Amino acid sequence: MNSDIISFNSLSSRTESEKILDECFFVLSTARDDVRHARNIYHSLVISKAYRFIVVCNFISNKRALEDYIFTNDALIIKDFKFFNNAPKKKTYTFKTSN
């Protein structure tokens, strides 16, 4: 993937999650213990909170640890939302991201 910032949440496809792990989380080392540690961090970030997105900043050049270039961004519910005024009110939400 050739992009400066990648934002994603829980990926249902194993192929996609493996690509993200290969390109973003295994940058520092590919030793067995480091790969296991990176996988554990990915899974703990994904399930840590509802509507949490993982943000990978590839433009950061000095990468010594995963915390140097991998961040989280949470979406906040700001109000109830209706598409049509006459329709019965359904439980849908509008989201706003926060850092």
Q: Is 38 exposed, middle or buried (0-12, 13-18, 19+ CB in 10 A)?
A: buried
- Which of these, 83, 76, 78, lies nearest to 50 by C-alpha position? 76
Note the pLDDT tens digit of each residue in 39-59: 888 889 888 888 889 998 888
Looking at residue 92, what is its pLDDT? 56
Task: Name the region of 2 (left: φ>0; alpha: ψ -120 to 50; beta: rest).
Answer: beta
Is pLDDT larger for residue 36 or for residue 87?
Answer: 36
Prediction pTM value: 0.66
Percent of the chain's residues with pLDDT above 70: 74
Q: Would you say 94 and 51 are in contact if contact means Cβ atoms under 8 Å apart?
A: no
Q: Where are the domains of the chain?
A: 5-72
